[in-house]
């Protein structure tokens, strides 16, 4: 079963995404704070990371950049979630190299499709 790490500081959104992805048949590892991300990645080694840009304790763009610069984790697809507009999303792509973006508020089917697309790419 594929493992999805969801990093989101809003508990309601985190629970909703977790439930949605579990209903799709994925193993979901929910994480409410970015400071534990490195340890969780080392212990779980997820197939995909779905991460909010604005985390309470950290910046998701910096975390994404660190993931992509580390040779051990660089191949893990990262999908960043943000309420930003297209211009901000384009800037993020240059700054931190995520594999995809998900604009908030998001459509549930769009979220599922983006996760599936990343899983297909790594097979």
Query: Residue 66 is part of a domain; what is its CATH number?
Result: 3.40.50.2300
Residues 49-67: tens digit of each pLDDT: 999 998 987 899 999 999 9
Q: How many domains does the chain have?
A: 1
Q: What is the three-class DSSP state of 94?
A: helix
The full length of the chain comes to 123
For 15, the domain range is 3-121
Q: Give the pLDDT score at 95.
A: 73
- pTM of the entire structure? 0.93
pLDDT at 80 > cutoff 80: yes
């Amino acid at each position: 079963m594929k493992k999805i790490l969801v990093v989101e500081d809003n508990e309601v959104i985190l629970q909703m995404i977790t439930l949605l992805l579990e209903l799709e048949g994925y193993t979901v590892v929910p994480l409410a704070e970015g400071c534990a991300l490195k340890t969780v990645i080392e212990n779980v080694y997820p197939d995909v990371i779905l991460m909010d840009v604005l985390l309470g304790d950290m910046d998701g763009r910096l975390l994404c950049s660190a993931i992509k610069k580390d040779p051990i984790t660089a191949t893990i697809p990262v999908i960043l979630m943000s309420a930003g507009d297209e211009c901000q999303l384009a800037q993020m792509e240059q700054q931190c190299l995520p594999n995809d973006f998900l604009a908030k508020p998001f459509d549930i089917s769009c979220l599922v499709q983006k996760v599936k697309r990343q899983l297909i790419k790594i097979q």
